[in-house]
Structure 1
């Protein structure tokens, strides 16, 4: 009798073969005749340290133009361009609402409003804070390295499709702390028609800035450019990958699970200009 083996993952098809999507993104096809038993497994619990690890990697992948540590909060400034580049995130265990006065002073010195990025479970903000822009963080393990070298700065056709002429676009896109950047694109007999930014920090690959030209949508190009980055990230030494998706972006929330991503946690933004913080 041949030895038994296990395949663990998400069941995505049952005919003509049983198809299982592994957490690494690999797809395994199994003949129904070879299956002895099937067992439903509970979701793997997400620990606070997992959330902190992903948020630290994401913060280092988008550090803004200036950044600093304020009592366990990682504060970033980029002239107000992008929320990720101009918000404070509680990355250290010492971060608490009692330090928000000092966080606010740092942003006041940079002539910026105080914007907080508040991940699930890492800090308990004052109840008076109003949060918005709920964002889903999805994660997966990476498979074998399989990707071409990518430019560490956005080429002209990449920037053209990105479509943002803000003077800080390139400085913010190319900022990273102790990591590597790769700007992926897919062309169609001409300039890029699909793009994405990859950043490898803290052992994670972060995928962001995914764009597809309107004339080329619904052709699987977003998937294709993300797959390029997944292989590239593994080749750079990343072990896991994450994406950050606004909760109302139904198209992206449908795409990433098909690439092996599952929800890890969520975060929200909050401004504190009108909030009284007691130290």
Structure 2
């Protein structure tokens, strides 16, 4: 990371650069062993009263005293991905949202308040794609009251790490006492290579509706209420995949869900029974769903995976999925 000009470290950023992507170096220690420095790359989200706030891809803002800066510069947007389909943040965020249709929603300017009886944060959080139409303080009060009226915690879903994402909103939420609880990756890939994988897709049963057998394998809920089927069944073109278990099994060996939306096929709820793992069933399920999506004209794939799910991330790496951006759920204090 080069900060020098003519051999000297220089701070070449100012408060006017708020909203731009920057790289900064700051002094963290100046002891007997000499000075120690830390570098941070992210969006400069504020510069007030001698303190900078830089929000990196992680979504957690870093506060930096101006007095500790030794170097800084504006840097270009992150390099474009070298594989997978082209996609803007705005397009992909809308596609992902349509795959998790809430039971109830209400607009707040360009924001969308969503509720589904508490089933999945993606259907029980605010989708803030634009301006709420009122000052942020007023918007957050409205959000908190709306969810309180439904006996639900107030969440706002944000994104970082892509051009046009919401680092500034993340920092603003932190400044209002909201805290990040969950972070996950949105990954994308070309669809055809997934459909071309060698897999025993004849084992997979595809259905337009979710039933009790499929739900028996789904680990995201205990006793499913009507809102679970409503959310899972919502979307432009929804498919459920089931690999039956052995005779006497109460639940399927593996399941999956796919939502086809124009050129996009979204994969979710891919789960395999513990006793059937390491047999390629997750790949089999995704291949069968990919072929169905291609029959409907889809050419690109997306999925969401939590940042600490190493097993799933390794599987998706092998299928060609690359990270597009991160999304986060911030909860009101």
TM-score normalised by the shorter chain: which range applies?
A: 0.7 to 0.9
**Do residues 186 (structure 1) and 243 (structure 2) align?**
yes
| Equivalent runs, 1:61-76 vs 2, <5 Å | 61-76=99-114
The corresponding residue for 1:241 is: 301
Residue in structure 2 matching 1:210, options 259, 266, 270: 270
Deviation at 1:194, TM superposition (A): 0.7
Take 1:95 and 1:255, find their aligned partners in 2: how far apart are those partners? 38
Answer whether contact 2:102 2:124 (CA < 8 A) is retained.
yes
Take 1:42 and 1:108, find their aligned partners in 2: how far apart are those partners? 41
SS at match of 2:143: helix
**Do residues 51 (structure 1) and 89 (structure 2) align?**
yes
Deviation at 1:49, TM superposition (A): 6.4
The structure whose RCO (Cα within 8 Å, separation 6+) is larger is 1
**Do residues 195 (structure 1) and 255 (structure 2) align?**
yes
**Do residues 153 (structure 1) and 202 (structure 2) align?**
no
Unaligned ranges ≥5, structure 2: 1-78
The corresponding residue for 2:31 is: none
Between Structure 1 and Structure 2, how many residues are aligned?
Answer: 230
Answer whether contact 1:149 1:232 (CA < 8 A) is retained.
no
Change (3 A) 1:49 1:74: farther
**Do residues 173 (structure 1) and 232 (structure 2) align?**
yes
The corresponding residue for 1:142 is: 191
Unaligned ranges ≥5, structure 1: 1-40, 275-279
**Do residues 94 (structure 1) and 152 (structure 2) align?**
no
Deviation at 1:113, TM superposition (A): 2.2
Runs of 4+ in 1 over 6 A off after TM superposition: 45-49, 144-149
Answer whether contact 1:135 1:268 (CA < 8 A) is retained.
yes
**Do residues 114 (structure 1) and 114 (structure 2) align?**
no
The corresponding residue for 2:67 is: none
Specify which structure has the higher proportion of strand. 2
SS at match of 1:89: strand
Answer whether contact 1:183 1:195 (CA < 8 A) is retained.
yes
Take 1:46 and 1:227, find their aligned partners in 2: how far apart are those partners? 17
Answer whether contact 1:115 1:271 (CA < 8 A) is retained.
yes
The corresponding residue for 2:21 is: none
SS at match of 1:43: coil
Deviation at 1:218, TM superposition (A): 0.8
Deviation at 1:250, TM superposition (A): 0.2
SS at match of 1:208: strand
RMSD, aligned CA: 2.9
Change (3 A) 1:166 1:103: same
Deviation at 1:200, TM superposition (A): 1.8
SS at match of 2:283: helix
Residue in structure 2 matching 1:103, options 143, 146, 149: 143
Cα deviation digits, residues 28-67 of structure 1 (max 9, x gap):
xxxxxxxxxxxxx973499996122111111111122112
Take 2:270 and 2:83, find their aligned partners in 1: how far apart are those partners? 29
SS at match of 2:183: strand
SS at match of 1:100: helix
SS at match of 1:192: coil
The corresponding residue for 2:18 is: none
Take 1:203 and 1:70, find their aligned partners in 2: how far apart are those partners? 29
Judge which range, 96-105 or 191-200, deviates more: 96-105
